[in-house]
Amino acid sequence: MTTLKVPGAELYYEKRGTGPVLLFIPGGNGDAGLYQGVATALADRYTTVTYDRRGFSRSPLDGPVDDDARVEADVEDAKRLLGEFTDRPAYVFGSSSGAIVALELLTRHPDRILRLFAHEPPLVTLLPDSERHLVLLDDVYDTYRTVGFGAALAKFLRATGIEGMGGPGGREPIGDTAEFVARVRHNLEFWLEHELRSYPRVTPDLAALEATADRLVLSGGRDSHDAFPYWPNQILAEKLGLPIVDFPGGHIGYGTHATDFAAQLGEVLAASRT
C-alpha cells in the first residue's frame, strides 16, 4: 500500500503478486476496495494493481476539482500507474465510470494496452434514446442538490435497474467491509457532484476503438441484462463486431461474486495470452 504523486493529486494504490501487470480502474465509488477479492485471487499469476481514483477515498486532490478536465486526468493517472510497474503493454480492467476511463485510455494510448476489459461503461451517448437517459441523470443530480444524497441515490438505482444488484448484501463480503463502507458515503457524494452527469456524456471515438478492437473485451454481468449500464456495450458490440463476455453477478459482480468472477477473468486472460 503506497501512493503516487501525480499532477493535482496523490494516488493511493495497492500492488499484489508478480507477473504481467493487470490494472483495475474503479467505477463510480472510486475505491480500490471493490477489487480486493479479484486482485488477490489473480496475484499468483499477475502483478495486480488497484487504486483509488483522484478525489475518492485515500487519493486526495491538491486543489479544487476541475470537472472539465476530470476524464483526461483519470486517463493520465491510469497511464502513470502503468508506467510505475512496466514499460510494456499491460492488461487493464475498468468498470462503470472506470470502463469509460479505460476506453479513453485505449483510444489515447493504445501502445500501453495488451488487452482491455470494458465492464458496463454507462456511455449514454451511444443509446438511441440517449436524451431520455441524460434528462434522468440531470434529475438525479437536481434531487441530490435539493433533497439530499439518500433520495438521489435511491432514484438513480431504481431508474437504472441496478437497485439491489450488488451492495453489501451480495454473496461475498466487499472490500474491507466496515472500513470500505465508511468510505462509500463520501465517494458517492463526490460521484454525484462531479461525475454523474459528465462521464455518461463522453462520446467514444469509434474509429479509434475499431482500430484497436483486437485488444478490447466488452463485458457485463449475467444479472445485468435488464439494467441500463449493460446496454451501451450492446451498441459497441454491434458497431465493432465484438461479443460481450458475461461475468458472474451484476454491475459490480467483481465485488459481490469475487471468487467466481476472478476464476472466469483468469480463464479469459489466459486464453488471450496463447
CATH number of 2-272: 3.40.50.1820
Half-sphere exposure of 122 (CA within 13 A, CB side): 24
pLDDT at residue 174, rounded to an integer? 72
**Separation between Cα atoms, residue 269 and residue 274, nearest integer Å:** 9
Q: Contact 209/100 with Cβ under 8 angstroms?
A: no
- Would you give per-residue pLDDT tens digits along the chain (274 residues)? 699 999 999 999 999 999 999 999 999 999 999 999 999 999 999 999 999 999 999 999 999 999 999 999 999 999 999 999 999 999 999 999 999 999 999 999 999 999 999 999 999 999 999 999 999 999 999 999 999 999 999 999 998 988 654 443 446 667 667 788 888 888 999 999 999 999 999 999 999 999 999 999 999 999 999 999 999 999 999 999 999 999 999 999 999 999 999 999 999 999 987 6
Alpha-carbon dihedral of residues 74, 122, 32, 243, nearest 10 degrees?
-110
Q: How many CA atoms lie within 13 A of 101 on its CB side?
A: 28
Q: Let me know how long the chain is.
A: 274
> What is the residue extent of each domain of the chain?
2-272
Note the pLDDT of residue 167: 42
DSSP string for residues in 176-209: TTHHHHHHHHHHHHHHHHHTTTTGGG----HHHH
**For position 161, what pLDDT does the model report?**
87
